[in-house]
Structure 1
Amino acid sequence: MSEQTVLEVKNLAKLYGEFQLGPVSMMLEEGYVYVIMGRNGSGKTTLFRMLNAIVQPERGMLEWFPAAAAPVTEAPSGQNSRPAAPENRTPASAEVETLREKRRRIAYMPDELDIPDLGWSLRDWRDAVFPFFPAWDDACYRRLVGRYGLDDRKAMRKSSKGTKKLAAFIIALSQSPRVLVLDEPSAGLDPFSWKMMLEDLSAFMSAGDKTILMATHIIEEIRRLGDYLLFLENGKVHGPFEKDALSESWRTLWVSELPASAEALPGAAAVEKGTPHRLVTRSPGATREALEKLGIAVTDERPLEWDELFWHVVRNKGKDM
């Protein structure tokens, strides 16, 4: 699998009143699904809007495809290719054009529908958007409209939240992007549409050269799609953590007795008294070894459920992780 960097962020920061997002530093590689998690108000939407040049940061740097040249693109079917750039183009204008070309490879699906007029239909939206994306795939657009059973001539203001989400999803996928940035993409969907969206996201990633950065609270989406996890808490990003490795490093141990200072055991993150007693550890080997030295046997061991794992990682961020 390619290890091309698709996004590099260094010390990105944005201040809103007393709340500061950042400084955020992270690097995303091609071919993976990155899931960012955080409580409401933690700054996920602000971060996504900065990544898509909708909100400007106070400081810091971000660059999409930092080692990539501007891509070769094709005009939509039935149109002529764009004219060649003038030979006397200045370096500044060439740099701006390169940035535009890079951003045409990124599709952003916001949490809230973002079109100029809810009186528009999905087809109106499509007509306004596609000229700006030379790789626009109208066959994909038509297929998805049919697959989700949408009437693309119906005004958006007459549509449900779920239908508006699907419309935004269709517009994003039809751009034939290299990167999908999705902010709570399935919020408001019925179970059937949700399942189809997961199928379409899996199909998008199947080529091996695509990348997804998504925010979600839905555990099953993380379980089925995620490769790496990032945690946003109090304006700070922690990670990315490789999902399966993170799952293996956090375990639940059951013991028949507890030492007097169980909370001080190496790796111990939580202790629950019961029959048997339950220990949550972020360092299973160290915790087992300490228990063995105390003559305490571990009677059972299992991975944490995903929702509990995420809670403990955020709660214990920075502690031997």
Structure 2
Amino acid sequence: MLALERVARGIEPLTARLRPGHPIPEPEGERTVRVERVEHPAEGVAQLTLVPARPGETLPAWQPGQHVDVVLGGGVLRQYSLTGDPSDRSAYRIAVRRIPDGVGSGLVHGLREGDTIGLRGPRNAFPFTRAERYLFVAGGIGITPILPMVLSAHRAAVPARTVYTGRSRATMPFADLLPGEVSVRPDDECGPPDPAAIVEGLTPGTAVYVCGPSPLIEAVRARTPEGTPFFSERFAPAPVVDGEPFEVQLGEDGPVVPIPADESALEVMRRVRPATAYSCRQGFCGTCRLTLLSGEADHRDRPTGGSPRGEEFAPCVSRAAGGERLVLDV
């Protein structure tokens, strides 16, 4: 679910206005939480309120845009944005849309109040930074990381405009919680979103945040003026558009698998070995990383804390430098 497109460096987190000091550290390890409440704020969306399994404990501090790694049944690991109140450390809130045949979302929708799951993080793959003003764009369940950002900007009295798109109002959670200048545009009422209209009137000093399907992100980015701080998070891996063919050898004595220019190594490896572990498919969670035994890798992953790369290779996004063969320890 998560991918950062462009980061404006050297910008202080907006939450520094409200909480002086250094950025919140990303904790390591796994903790057990209990599902305190299950709600359904929209069709096909389950919202979970998660509290520490041990009474009296508090959860790690977090900032808008951060996510947690959720450890589900059978060791399935998925990443979900935190969408509650960052000032409330007694509980976390996540919201997950049910995806047909989706393993992770199916497990989440099967949880009941009182069940326990594991959490890792929070981690930051979608940093919320200080700006003079904001344009927030959410597509469907992409509202989950955007909502805390909108609320934080509103509380800090920073000018912001929010555009929220989706298939229909019935499928769009949290529309009634968005303060300030908000345009809610369901496709069945307003037609498909118009990216040019979304960025119309964008002024210098505005930071643009987009979360949603890849076509929405790319369309808004293409119409955003050059030099504008642009941040995005997607729910599916980006297509491979600049790849070269290479080979992966699965173990020192294992089979050699050719990787086409337009596919990731993970996609091909899973056809050969369906049990190959993966989660985010975007290069930040570390689930699919394997030890690189030989060969020079073109590393394209971006660890977000708690998952150092070391001498490892992330087959979901990384490739071989110069199209050579990589030998992986599998």
Q: Larger % of strand: which? A: 2
Give the TM-score normalised by the residue count of structure 1. 0.30
Give the TM-score normalised by the residue count of structure 2. 0.30
Bigger relative CO (Cα 8 Å, ≥ 6 apart): 1
Rg comparison, structure with higher value? 1
